[in-house]
Structure 1
Amino acid sequence: MKFAAFISVFFFCITLASAQEANVQEAMVYNALPGVDGTPGKNRLAMGTYDLRYEGVKGSRYFLEEWLNGQLVFVKENTKAPKMVPLKYDTHRKELLFKRTVGDSIVVNPDQITGFVINDTKNNITYPFIKVDGLRTEGGVVPVTYLLVLYKSKTSLLKHVSKMMQKANYQGAYSVDRRYDSYLDNSEYYLKKPDGNLTRVKLKKNSVLNALEDKKDAIEAFIKKEELALKSEYELVRIIDYYNSL
């Protein structure tokens, strides 16, 4: 009798444990996974429809991934402001981030600055940015953004460093089976003439000639003589530098 009672209790415990485990698993699925209509925990058939193919996000939204020391250029000179601060520029949201000594980072108020400088001391490179309001880009007007100064002279060359999010596309009959979101570069170049106006220019011969129309013949001859294919920023800088010398 004692042995039979033990066996009965043993199997009862196993059954109870299995039932509890099943209840826990069911609760996890019920509460955590989305239902067929996308509502969390509403449909218990969600486990069968849950898609595990998504691979996350590739690329970075930042100009430079690491925090680097830099300077803020204030609208009004602020003698109490620190001379060197950790900065990071979000090229997707067009926001400058400042890392506080205690706590997390904050977004720098664009109304308080006219630009900023990021110093990459490891590679001995300085990146100066200026603030621009109402920039007309190919994709529309950007209320507030920052342009990287690639070359500064009478006519300067600026770069709107910008990245866009490309969403994953792997669901549906006509998908391209891209299982990740990614940040893609969609930067643009601008010429800043002495009058302060900005002219968008592309790394293409016709675009450059149109932007520098007042000295078009000389610029075209220079491009031909130097065999410039306009495949890099350096070649564009060479052309602007020559333009300024005319």
Structure 2
Amino acid sequence: MNAFRFWTAALFVGFTSVPALAQQTSTANTSGAAVSESLSALSRGAVGFSYDDRYTGVKGSPYVMRVWQPADITLNTNVRIPSVRLKYDALRNQLLARPDNSRPDSVMLNIASVKSFAFQDALRPGERRVFRRFEEAPVLADKQAFVEVLHEGQYTLLKRYGKEFRKANFKGAYSENRPYDEVLDRTQYFLRRPDGHVNEVKLSVKSFAGGAPELAAKLKSVADRAERNLKTESEFAALLAAAEKQ
């Protein structure tokens, strides 16, 4: 029996077609008959109907990765479920699975039973991306969220995919003239020290040194030897790994 199907009872929440994030608005009726009726009403002194069809949908995505990715799931019991197609909705902190890739239905998993999951990134072949629960989060509300482990050693570098939903705002005299809903990225990075303390950091040598002052001199030494500006997540993960080895 397929391992995923065997453990579905523990993880299953329900089949779902994830609801659109679009603001609920009525569809504008701009047919010729409707326009004629409105003009006729106005000519008689009655109230006419106005139509606002500027709404253009949703920008951005709630998902960490927009396409279904093959992944392994590890439960809190340390049981591993291999080869499941997943999406992580970071906005609503939901983990969706597609048991049958030939059907559009997805299963919403019970994340309380999930310890971690790992993608084989389709965009970066051979690279394994591990996500685990943010148990040491400084903010209580974030402890149930999942974070990506960018580096794990004496120090751990974590990435939280924060998301914020902003409704369209284009009606009224003081509107922002924004005819679309938007999902904004609010990415955060955290550095976990050997004593378990966690500090939010930016991708800069100065910020890393502030988050781990006992490692500051080594971080600066490694960065100076690189003789270039470090910019990417992978470069800072490598910086942390190299500083640990000094």
Kindly state the Cα deviation for residue 232 of structure 1 after the two structures are TM-superposed: 2.2
TM-score (norm 2): 0.70
- 1:33-52 CA distance string (max 9 Å, x none): xxxxxxxxxxx95731x321
Q: 1:118 corresponds to which residue?
A: 119
Kindly state the Cα deviation for residue 234 of structure 1 after the two structures are TM-superposed: 2.8
The residue matched to 2:173 in structure 1 has which SS?
A: coil
Q: 2:131 corresponds to which residue?
A: 129
Indicate if the aligned counterparts of 1:63 and 1:90 stay in contact, CA closer than 8 A: yes
Distance 1:133 1:177 in 2: 40
TM-score (norm 1): 0.70
Quote the sequence identity (%): 28
Greater fraction of residues in helix: 1
The worse-fitting range, judged by mean Cα deviation, of 66-75 and 161-170 is 161-170
Q: 1:107 corresponds to which residue?
A: 108
What code does the residue aligned with 1:59 have?
G
Kindly state the Cα deviation for residue 63 of structure 1 after the two structures are TM-superposed: 1.0
Distance 2:120 2:218 in 1: 36
Distance 2:188 2:81 in 1: 32
- 1:1-246 to structure 2, matched below 5 A, reads 47-48=49-50, 50-78=51-79, 82-101=81-100, 104-121=105-122, 123-124=124-125, 125-133=127-135, 135-136=137-138, 141-246=141-246
Kindly state the Cα deviation for residue 204 of structure 1 after the two structures are TM-superposed: 3.2
Indicate if the aligned counterparts of 1:134 and 1:141 stay in contact, CA closer than 8 A: no
Indicate if the aligned counterparts of 2:149 and 2:158 stay in contact, CA closer than 8 A: yes
What code does the residue aligned with 1:200 have?
E
Indicate if the aligned counterparts of 2:205 and 2:219 stay in contact, CA closer than 8 A: no
- 1:122-169 CA distance string (max 9 Å, x none): 6313211111246236xx732411111112222121111222223323
Indicate if the aligned counterparts of 1:165 and 1:181 stay in contact, CA closer than 8 A: yes
Structure 1 residues 60 and 238, CA gap change in structure 2 (3 angstroms): same
Q: 1:41 corresponds to which residue?
A: none
Of the two, which has the highest radius of gyration? 1
Q: State the Cα RMSD in Å.
A: 2.9
Kindly state the Cα deviation for residue 83 of structure 1 after the two structures are TM-superposed: 2.2
Indicate if the aligned counterparts of 1:62 and 1:89 stay in contact, CA closer than 8 A: yes
Structure 1 residues 197 and 109, CA gap change in structure 2 (3 angstroms): farther
Distance 2:204 2:241 in 1: 17
Q: 2:42 corresponds to which residue?
A: none
Structure 1 residues 217 and 105, CA gap change in structure 2 (3 angstroms): same
The worse-fitting range, judged by mean Cα deviation, of 100-109 and 115-124 is 100-109
- 1:95-115 CA distance string (max 9 Å, x none): 111123377222222221210
Structure 1 residues 152 and 114, CA gap change in structure 2 (3 angstroms): same
Structure 1 residues 219 and 74, CA gap change in structure 2 (3 angstroms): same
Distance 1:245 1:134 in 2: 25
The residue matched to 2:178 in structure 1 has which SS?
A: coil
Q: 2:40 corresponds to which residue?
A: none
The residue matched to 1:154 in structure 2 has which SS?
A: coil
